[in-house]
Amino acid sequence: QSALTQPASVSGSPGQSITISCTGTSSDIGGYNYVSWYQQHAGKAPKLMIYEVNNRPSGVSTRFSGSKSGNTASLTISGLQVEDEADYYCSSYTSSTTVVFGGGTKLTVL
Amino acid sequence: EVQLVESGGGLVKPGGSLTLSCVGSGFTFNTFSMNWVRQVPGKGLEWVSSISSSSSYIYYADSAKGRFTISRDNAKKSLYLQMNSLRAEDTAVYYCARSVKAWYEAFDIWGQGTMVTVSS
Q: State mean pLDDT over B35-41.
A: 97
pLDDT at A1 over 80: no
Cβ-defined contact of B106 to A34 (cutoff 8 Å):
yes
Cβ-defined contact of B44 to A3 (cutoff 8 Å):
yes
pLDDT tens-digit series, residues A19-60? 999 999 999 999 999 999 999 999 999 999 999 999 999 999
Is any Cβ of chain A less than 8 angstroms from the Cβ of B33? no
- Report the relative pairing of strands A105-109 and A72-77 from DSSP bridges: unpaired
pLDDT at B10 over 90: yes
pLDDT tier for residue A63 given thresholds of 50, 70 and 90: very high
Res A54: pLDDT: 97
Q: Chain B residue closest to A3 (CA)?
A: B46
CA pair distance A66, A53, nearest whole angstrom: 6
pLDDT tens-digit series, residues A52-62? 999 999 999 99
Distance from the Cα of B109 to chain A's closest Cα (Å) equals: 7
Res B60: pLDDT: 97
Residues 6+ apart with CB under 8 A from A18: A10, A11, A12, A76, A77, A80, A107
CA pair distance A8, A58, nearest whole angstrom: 28
Cβ-defined contact of A104 to B44 (cutoff 8 Å):
yes
Cβ-defined contact of A89 to B113 (cutoff 8 Å):
no
| Residue in B39, B59, B105 to test binding to A, most A beta-carbons within 10 Å | B105
| Residue in B33, B45, B94, B115 to test binding to A, most A beta-carbons within 10 Å | B45
Taking contacts as CB-CB distances below 8 angstroms, the residues of chain A near B44 are: 3, 89, 101-104
Residues 6+ apart with CB under 8 A from B114: B6, B7, B8, B9, B20, B93, B94
Is any Cβ of chain B less than 8 angstroms from the Cβ of A98? yes
For chain A, what is the mean pLDDT?
97
Res A40: pLDDT: 98
Distance from the Cα of B104 to chain A's closest Cα (Å) equals: 6
Q: State mean pLDDT over A93-108.
A: 96
Diameter over CA atoms, chain B: 40
Is any Cβ of chain B less than 8 angstroms from the Cβ of A102? yes
pLDDT tier for residue A90 given thresholds of 50, 70 and 90: very high
